Structure 1
């Protein structure tokens, strides 16, 4: 097989580095992580609801339209998922449905927070929030696919490696927040749009790409550039896009799981509609309220971001502990210093480390 996997750990989390031809690499990855893929898929709380919703009626129509748009627009990345499923001996359509769960209008919870700063130094910081049952399966994955720029991502086995953080060979780093779109459009799935974003060659290319490549569901991207120090937040949801670049003089911005910049946002349910998304939106707004009180008058450092992201829960920070009615916990916190070109990683187990961003991107521990 024309592919190879190396395994190590970083900050207490598994780190896989896979090299080789695209199809062979993803097939090997599926075989190598079969147990983790099965566990993650079995732990998806919305799994049975997704299957029921898409079996017939409007759900089936949406899934058919989004699947067709995905496979037509992004055949290479659909083939990656197909190879992953084949290597693991699993049904491709089951993995595709899981990957499109945020693109068909089904409530998908809330999770993840991003912070951004641009001043004499620039930072992008990300909390990856997920179900406690995923702790132990969640990992880092470096892709060194023949013909592609290298990229390192946080990865949930069974998903296209695209929906968390990414650091690319072009010197770009971003975090992603889930946006619950109530009425998706017939467009490719957001994971596939985000996967293709990883091959953009510079900051402007990345912003232009998101403006011109719609997704059925929604993501908010907090993107930083190590070459220029530029930072922007881009909301992309159901064909609507809004980008806000931070001013070069001491600018702070944040994003959680609700749209902030798109007028008449498509993450709001129609008036009078009963939906679980209302409660999820309130949770996201609560984190936003905490972040709105922050005033980093002085230039922040890595420890300032860590204190907010993993030092305390709302109202003193946005760390999540799956306590009380909150179903999620913060699985990992990453703070990227775009100026120094380093990334600090803190895992839920309490381990931490700092790496040169170039080493992290290329899979060198």
Structure 2
């Protein structure tokens, strides 16, 4: 059964992170010890001189833009008894992996292909006079099996949110909703290496910020103002007005917005309307679209 932590209001973001880490310490530690991408690629890379500038840039830029959420991350590390470096690596996994030397992945002692797949979550969206539906398939990698939980948080300003959370990561890089009637789901859209900017804003921090959005327009503004390292696809849902937007993003402040209507809209792990050079289409992503 999926566990849920009801938390808050807390004195500060660090305390919220600390209590989360403390409550789910076993899940977080288990996830980190069995995550082959972390153990065989990210950690070895983090020990090399080549990694230091990238990790430093990610740390400085994200801490500066989102100091509250950075404190929350530090609290989660402290509460779970896990090194902060491990938390940084899993929260910036997709911002770091493209910059690993090819030899690091090739020399890995384990087959990580199942753990580092571009074929992640997918959604079917439709809004008509008779219905408004967002159907999400949480198709994450196998390292997360048994390593997820739900955070139901109340903030000092009275806002509350619910986020489906990967162990050790900020809520939520999957899906969530808040008391302002704003909900969202996420889809990975892997761009080509040339499209990725080193040291930009991490997707986990942007989605954490969406949980505090006051409206769908505020959520869109948060996405548009983030100088992302790697692009993403956001499905923004206004529960009260039955409005759904699909927002595709890429580095260098590129954003495309598609308003969902009566024609069913399917989004998997490829860019559909933002003109971006993307990684070669995988067979799984192609089959999802065909179906």
State whether TM-score is above 0.5. yes
> Partner of 2:214 in structure 1?
201
TM-score computed with the length of structure 1 as normaliser: 0.68
1:223 aligns to 2:236 (yes or no): yes
> Partner of 1:99 in structure 2?
91
Contact 1:66–1:216 (CA<8 Å) still a contact in 2? no
1:89 and 1:117 mapped to 2: Cα distance?
Answer: 43
2:49 and 2:14 mapped to 1: Cα distance?
Answer: 34
2:235 and 2:87 mapped to 1: Cα distance?
Answer: 26
2:285 and 2:92 mapped to 1: Cα distance?
Answer: 22
Match of 2:25 among 20, 29, 34: 34
1:105-159: per-residue Cα shift (whole Å, max 9, x none)? 4394121111110101211111111344533332222111322621111111101
> Partner of 2:172 in structure 1?
162
Contact 1:105–1:217 (CA<8 Å) still a contact in 2? no
**Greater helix content:** 2
Which stretches in structure 1 are left out of the alignment for 5+ residues? 1-11, 269-277, 291-365
> Partner of 1:246 in structure 2?
260
> Partner of 2:123 in structure 1?
114
**Greater strand content:** 1
> Partner of 1:294 in structure 2?
none
Give the length in aligned residue pairs: 266
Distance 1:43 1:161, change over 3 A: same
Distance 1:167 1:119, change over 3 A: same
1:287-302 aligned at under 5 Å gives the runs: 287-290=288-291
> Partner of 1:344 in structure 2?
none
1:67 aligns to 2:70 (yes or no): no
TM-score computed with the length of structure 2 as normaliser: 0.84
What is the DSSP-based 3-state SS (H/G/I as helix, E as strand, rest coil) of the residue aligned with 1:188? coil
RMSD: 2.0
> Partner of 1:17 in structure 2?
6
Which stretches in structure 2 are left out of the alignment for 5+ residues? 101-115
